[in-house]
Copies of this chain bind each other. A is one copy, B any other.
Amino acid sequence: MPFTRVEVAVLSLLEGQLCVLLIKRKEAPHKGLWGLPGGVLRIDLDATLEGAAQRVAQERLGAKLPYLKQLIAVGSKTRDPRSPWALSVVYRALIPITSIEPLPGKRIEAIRWAPAHEFDVDQKLAFDHQALARSALAATKIEIDELKLPVGFLPDTFTLTELQTLCEQLAGRALDKSSFRRKLKDRMMVEPVEGKFVGGANRPALLHRLKPNLD
């Protein structure tokens, strides 16, 4: 049976920039290199694959990861020098802007938020984690293009401009305000929270929330 792991690409927004969480490896192989957080599947501890991803995130980062989405499984003889056959199931997580900062845990020397644009150029990450991170970013872009709202990133209430700015970060391009709002309205994806406004020295914005269980 193969050496089986789960890896997690954790995405968040820092200062308006979409970033991927990288960890600096404390042990061989690839000691000192940056990579995605991950860990071995423990058949004694984990009930499901997603549960394994949750446990690994808890151990490595001290953080619970809502809205996990499985991206792909990769496996081959040569992926990992520790084993003659290495299989990894890769998950993506979106964590809210206001979320607590993950901290380095087991076997991690440091963590770092790598801006998305770093992955446009080649960099040396551990194993095949460069490709995995890229596919996590690409998958997220596609979801935004399909107007799947980034539920994991959203606070309970938000303004439409905040939502649009968030989607623009994830999609990596500017979106049209009127089109964006038309789509939200037509598909009834959000609803205003009556009488709730926020604003500075200008017109206040009406707060909205997600409509329940509608995609």
Contacts and interface: CB of A to CB of B under 8 A. Distances in A.
A43 interface: yes
A66 interface: no
A47 B76 CA distance: 5
A41 interface: yes
A1 B41 contact: yes
A4 B89 CA distance: 12
Interface string A31-72: 000000000010100111100000000000000000000101
B70 A49 contact: no
Classify chain A: how many residues form its interface, as a range: 20 to 34
Contact of A87 (B47, B49, B72, B74): B49
Interface string A61-93: 000000000101111110000001101010000
A188 B77 CA distance: 39
Most B-side CB within 10 Å, residue of A1, A46, A47: A1
A21 B40 CA distance: 34
Given A1-B4, A2-B1, A75 B48 contact: yes
A3 interface: yes
B43 A2 contact: yes
Contacts of A70: 72-73
A84 B2 contact: no
Nearest to A85: B43
A31 to B, nearest CB: 23
A137 to B, nearest CB: 19
A49 B73 contact: yes
A48 to B, nearest CB: 4
A102 to B, nearest CB: 25
List the 6 closest pairs (A to B, CB-CB), nearest first: A43-B85, A73-B73, A1-B1, A49-B75, A48-B76, A73-B89
10 contacts: A1-B43, A2-B43, A43-B84, A47-B77, A48-B75, A49-B76, A49-B87, A70-B72, A73-B73, A73-B89
